[in-house]
Amino acid sequence: MVFKCYLCEKENIFMTYYCVNCRRIKHLINLYGNRVYDVLEKVLVISETEESDGIEDVINNDIKNKREYINKSIKEHINKKK
């Protein structure tokens, strides 16, 4: 028996809950948790004129977080060598 995907409610599915695309979204939610919802709200839900600013904010935050993580990792590595 064929059903509709539980998330998009458009694609036909068989023996699963999600279509291929929605399975990918589910995977990202499992990996990143609430961050997925934050990104979707900030990037997609705002008006089109503000859309690029939202994307830049998200990317800038990602860069800042990764930079802090790398700096922390380097400091921990240096401290282990002492």
Rounded Cα distance, 37 and 62, in Å: 15
Q: Is 28 in the site for Zn ion (CB under 5 A)?
A: no
Question: Quick one: which H or E segment has residue 3?
Answer: strand 3-4
Q: Is 22 in the site for Zn ion (CB under 5 A)?
A: yes
Cβ distance to Zn ion smaller for residue 8 or 44: 8
Stretch that binds Zn ion, among 8-16, 25-33, 53-61, 74-82 (CB under 5 A): 8-16
Q: Is 43 in the site for Zn ion (CB under 5 A)?
A: no
